[in-house]
Amino acid sequence: MSRIGKQPVTIPEGVTVTVSPDNIVTVKGPKGELTRKVDRDITVKVNDSEVSFERPTDQKRHRSMHGLYRALVNNMITGVSQGFTIQQELVGVGYKAEVKGQILELSLGYSHDIHIMVPKEIKIEAKTEKRSNPVITLTSADKQLLGEVAAKIRSLRKPEPYKGKGIRFVGEQIRKKAGKTASAT
């Protein structure tokens, strides 16, 4: 048995989970509504306060799908009840972030500014305080979409290993390399 797949997911108050006949799970809560199609081999059962998952056989494919869909539905339930937040900081001289509606405007040391259209499911804020790095805060109920957008923003200027300049997650430790040293001749 999958250790993750056999654990039932508890449903908090204010969240409703429904499963349609064609195996589409819909989760509604105070932060929004999410839907996901579950593999046809995995059986989803909704009791009064928990969701459980069952697989037909012990094939490798069924075992992997069992744990995967349990984790995805758990993330959906957490997302619509509490939400997810990712914070990124821009480390570098002259790096700036500004939000105009759903468009994120970044100055990252290139010859031009970069404009990113953020999906409407994600709430975005950019905060710049004196003597500190600009911080971008992304908030959403959809963990997968949030991670994809955060990875896209980070890919625009990854932290470099010598000075640590670039876009990094708040609290992330960057392993720095030693630079060149002068030879003693």
Q: Decide: 25 and 36 in contact? Cβ < 8 Å.
A: yes
Q: What is the pLDDT of residues 5-45, one digit of tens each?
A: 889 999 999 999 999 999 999 999 999 999 999 999 999 99
The answer to whether residue 1 scores a pLDDT higher than 60 is no
Q: What is the pLDDT of residue 180?
A: 83
Give me the percent of the chain exceeding a pLDDT of 90: 80
Q: What is the pLDDT of residues 159-174, one digit of tens each?
A: 999 988 999 999 989 8
The answer to whether residue 184 scores a pLDDT higher than 90 is no
CATH dotted code for 84-169: 3.90.930.12
Nearest to 118 by CA among 134, 135, 102: 102
Q: What is the pLDDT of residues 112-140, one digit of tens each?
A: 999 999 999 999 999 998 889 999 999 99
Q: Average pLDDT of 137-158?
A: 95
9-81: in CATH 3.40.50.300 = no
Domain ranges of the chain: 9-81, 84-169
Q: What is the pLDDT of residues 56-89, one digit of tens each?
A: 999 999 988 999 999 999 999 999 999 999 999 9
Assessment of whether the complete model's pTM goes beyond 0.95: no
Strands (E), the chain: 9-10, 16-19, 24-29, 32-37, 43-46, 50-54, 84-91, 96-100, 103-107, 114-117, 123-127, 135-140, 166-169
